[in-house]
Amino acid sequence: MFNKTEVLETVDMIEREHLDIRTITMGISLLPCVRENAQKTARCVYDTVCAKARDIVKVAQQLAGEYGIPIVNKRVSVTPVSLICAAFPQEAEKIGLALDKAAKELGIDFLGGYSALVHKGTAEYEQIFLESIPAVLAQTERVCSSVNVASSKSGINMDAVAQMGHIVKRTAELTKASDGLGCAKLVVFANAVEDNPFMAGAFHGTGESGTVINVGVSGPGVVKHALENVPNANLNDCAETIKRTAFKITRAGQLIAKEAAKRLHAEFGIVDLSLAPTPVMGDSVAHILEELGLEVVGTHGTTAALAMLNDAVKKGGVMASSHVGGLSGAFIPVSEDIGMIRAAEKGALCMDKLEAMTAVCSVGLDMIAIPGDTPAETISAIIADEAAIGMINNKTTAVRVIPVPGKTVGDTVEFGGLLGHAPILPVHTASSAKFVQRGGRIPAPIHSNKN
Amino acid sequence: MRAVVTVTGKDNKGIIAKVSSFLAEKGANVEEVSQTILNDRFAMVMLVDIGEVQEELSSIARQCEELGRNIGMSIRLQHEEIFNAMHNV
């Protein structure tokens, strides 16, 4: 049983501290949809997604009403599309358009999985598929794309890294009317996970069962508030406070995930423990770090504070859920976090510091606007650096940068909604072209040989 | 099946009566009530049995919010499982 104080604590978390279920994401296998041509496959993809996820919005609304906790996003992830159109990669676009149509029909906000896994090598059909990404992201509204270019087990596919630099640039060019917004729907991963419920990097792995429900919780505001109550605690006690808070948040996620899976006739997959910020005041990961005692996020000490936060969130959450997965940790998307935006505006947060932060937290260089004239090779080199951090540290890392066409350092860009706004951050201008153009594969590290 | 109703806001006359009669109308049975003043804020927590309630829980919750708006308070009705999950190991 619970007591009055606990009831009011939960109500305050929801009403004042932005506790919410960030996403219910249904993973759907598209492998049974493969037909002899693109048209028939696209039709089956549309029908399958619409049939399986038909009730996702309705059920999410019901659950939000019954349990009194907002469920912000309803999403779908699918089998990497490169696999289901391997026989006709030139027509991959048709599948992308069918997915967008299904997403609109269902009323979900994003659908992830226009993806390819090329961490060890790029097959010919995948090469063609990758080239289709910019046009699909430009023509669709809700389809998200991700490409895995590295893993701890196989090393870094530098040919794919080089290609992705150009694909990011091309995506920005094709969506320049909206300041390169297409790039906000494109993530380049190392060690991508197969059960991630968060966008833009969600896809439904081939090791998953047919239909799965994965849930992402959130609550940076709740963690910050809990820390406000222990202003003079030492860092042991701060970590304990974060753990206890993460436990409660995750339990709410576990409850919703189990119930959603039951009502949607799907398997319960995982709860993703991530602290995902939004541009709204009071929903910032940066402000948690500042609450721990940093004048502004990005200053010295930021990496240590973030490491502690990330670890405490995992420790608190792990016991609260029967299956933890996805990305699980603190997210640091610059344009989506009001504290990060302010720090970047003040010049306190730079690419190099962000890169260091990604070594100790969930994911990577996320939602960072960079000058539109950044060369493709520089973007590839940024991807390679992140992939190296992921590969060596056995963790997921990612790059989601937006080279905003026609804009440069000193300008700001507005993406709108949960994607937020950001100043353009400078990148190093010395060339990395020769390094990137060498191509090949950076071998897997020695410690990946565990067999 | 039980739900928890929380009423928070500035103290006003007749709050308990209004909320209780609404719940009775819907077939919910109040099992426990406790109230407190927290930092000048009135807070009431009610545990109600909703086994006999005909309407969908989410619909009753919506109507509670509406009632709250009408009387200038925040009223939430939530399935008790959310509190069990978050506060019990």
Q: Tens digits of per-residue pLDDT, A151-168?
A: 999 999 999 999 999 999
Between B71 and A77, residue with greater pLDDT: A77
Q: Quick check: helix, strand or coil at residue A138?
A: helix
A18 confidence band (pLDDT: 50, 70, 90): confident
CATH of the domain at A69: 3.20.70.20
Residue % of chain A over a pLDDT of 90: 92
Is residue A248 a part of any domain in this protein?
no
Res. A302 pLDDT band, cuts 50 70 90: very high
Residue A20 lies inside a defined structural domain of this protein: yes
Together in a domain, A179 and A224 = no
pLDDT of res. A450: 86
How many Å lie between the alpha carbon of B1 and the closest alpha carbon of chain A?
A: 12
Tell which CATH architecture fits domain B2-87.
2-Layer Sandwich (3.30)
CA distance A263 to chain B (A): 15
Residue A45 within any structural domain of the chain? yes
For residue range B34-79, list pLDDT tens digits in order.
988 877 788 999 999 999 899 999 999 999 999 999 999 999 999 9
> Domains in chain A: how many in total?
2
Domain for residue A295, yes or no? yes
Burial class (CB in 10 A: 0-12, 13-18, 19+), A343: buried
Q: At which residue do the structure tokens 């000058």 appear?
A: A371
The reply to whether A147 falls in a domain is yes
Do A9 and A143 belong to one domain? Answer: yes
The answer to the question of residue A43 being in a domain is: yes
Between CA B10 and CA A75 the distance in angstroms is: 39
> Are both A277 and A329 inside the same structural domain?
yes
pLDDT at B4: 96
Nearest Cα to Cα of residue A99 among A55, A52, A57, A168: A52
Please report, to the nearest 10 degrees, the dihedral formed by the alpha carbons of residues A66, A69, A73, A76 taken in order.
-50
> Reduced to 3 DSSP states, what percent helix, strand and coil does chain B have, rounded to the nearest 5?
35, 35, 25
Whole-Å CA distances, A39 to A16, A93, A96: 49, 10, 12
Among the ranges given (A45-49, A182-186, A386-390, B23-27), the one the predictor scored with the smallest mean pLDDT: B23-27
Residue A330 sits in the same domain as residue A373: yes
HSE-CB for A264 with a 13 A CA cutoff: 37
Average pLDDT, chain A: 96
A64–B87 C-beta distance less than 8 A: no
Q: Which of residues 283-322 of A touch B (CB under 8 A)?
A: 319
**Does residue A313 sit within a domain?**
yes
A175 lies in the same domain as A224: no
What are the tens digits of pLDDT across the range A247-269? 999 999 999 999 999 999 999 99
What are the CA-CA distances from residue A427 to residues A170, A175, A404 (Å)? Answer: 19, 21, 13
Q: Which domain holds residue A301?
A: 218-228+273-437
Is A283 in the same domain as A406?
yes
Q: Indicate the domain borders of chain B.
A: 2-87
A255 and B59 within 8 Å at the Cβ level: the answer is no
Which residues does A416 contact at the CB level (< 8 Å), separation at least 6?
none
**Residue range A329-338, pLDDT digits in tens:** 899 999 999 9
